[in-house]
Structures are given as C-alpha cells and as structure tokens.
C-alpha cells in the first residue's frame, strides 16, 4: 500500500512533493527488494523512473551539493519531467472503518490539539486530567 501511495504522489503531484523525491533518492536502496518481486514490478516502474531521472540530473550538477541545492534541482526537474513518462494507475480510494471504541483515540487526540493550539489560553499541564486514575 505504501508503494501505491508513493506512486500516486509521484504521478499526480510530483511538483508538490520535492521532499518525497529527496527521500526516495536518499533511501533508494530500500526499494531494491521490491524491484525483483513480481508483485511490485508494475508499481516500481514509476518509482525507478523518478529515481533514475533525478539521479541523472544531480550527477550532472556535480558533487558536494547542499540540501538546498538538491531540492532546487528536484523542483526544476519536476517541471521538466514529461508527465506522459509516468504510468497512470487507478486512483486510490480509502475507506474509514471505525473501531469499536474510537473515543480511546479521538478524545486524547482532540484534547492534545486544543492544548497545543490554544496559544492565547494558559493551560497548567498539572491540572489537566483526561481520565480518572482509580483502578476500580
């Protein structure tokens, strides 16, 4: 599923994901195991194409590039890469399946958002109690 999500980001919005491309280039060896596996060969075509395309552009730019320069080259390359070279796959669709007790996740999560986002309000962390501490 992660390969499909990465592939979707590359094919549908490459120019909005320079940090993803940077991470793919930096960790390209992680994908080695998927290249030879028959189940992933289709999905790996686009990832390999992007890695090869941007690796070539970075090699042309020379050695000892700063992170900022690498990201600049990636952004320029994202515009230059012909969109028709990336193979389109069906659009990904996800469905939310609610757990039996979603409040176990959502209540602490929402309160963490309130606590961290309420800049104008003072919250004393010692006085915040989301759950009672009794065991009975």
- Domain-wise residue ranges, the chain: 1-85
- What letter does residue 36 receive in the DSSP assignment? S
Quote the pLDDT of residue 99: 84
Q: What is the pLDDT along the chain (136 residues), one digit of tens a residue?
A: 899 999 999 998 899 999 999 999 999 999 988 888 888 888 899 999 999 999 999 999 988 899 999 999 999 999 999 888 888 888 888 788 888 888 888 888 888 888 788 777 777 777 777 666 565 4
Helix ranges, the chain (H): 2-13, 18-26, 32-35, 41-61, 67-80, 103-117
pTM, two decimal places: 0.67
| DSSP state for residue 23 in the 8-state scheme | H
The CA distance from 88 to 8, in Å, is 8
Burial of 46 (0-12, 13-18, 19+ CB in 10 A): buried
What pLDDT does residue 26 have? Answer: 94
| Whole-number pLDDT of residue 58 | 93
State residue 83's pLDDT score: 82
């Amino acid at each position: 599923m992660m390969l499909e999500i990465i592939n979707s980001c590359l094919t549908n919005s490459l120019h909005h994901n320079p940090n993803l491309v940077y991470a793919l280039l930096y960790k390209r060896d992680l994908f080695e195991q998927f290249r030879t596996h028959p189940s992933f060969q289709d999905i790996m075509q686009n990832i390999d194409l992007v890695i090869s395309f941007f690796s070539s552009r970075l090699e042309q730019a020379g050695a000892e590039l700063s992170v900022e320069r690498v990201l600049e080259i990636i952004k320029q390359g994202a515009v230059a890469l012909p969109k028709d070279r990336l193979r389109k796959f069906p659009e990904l669709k996800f469905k939310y399946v609610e757990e039996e007790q979603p409040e176990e996740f959502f209540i602490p999560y929402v309160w963490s958002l309130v606590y961290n986002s309420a800049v104008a309000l003072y919250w004393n962390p010692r006085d915040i109690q989301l759950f009672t501490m009794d065991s009975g």
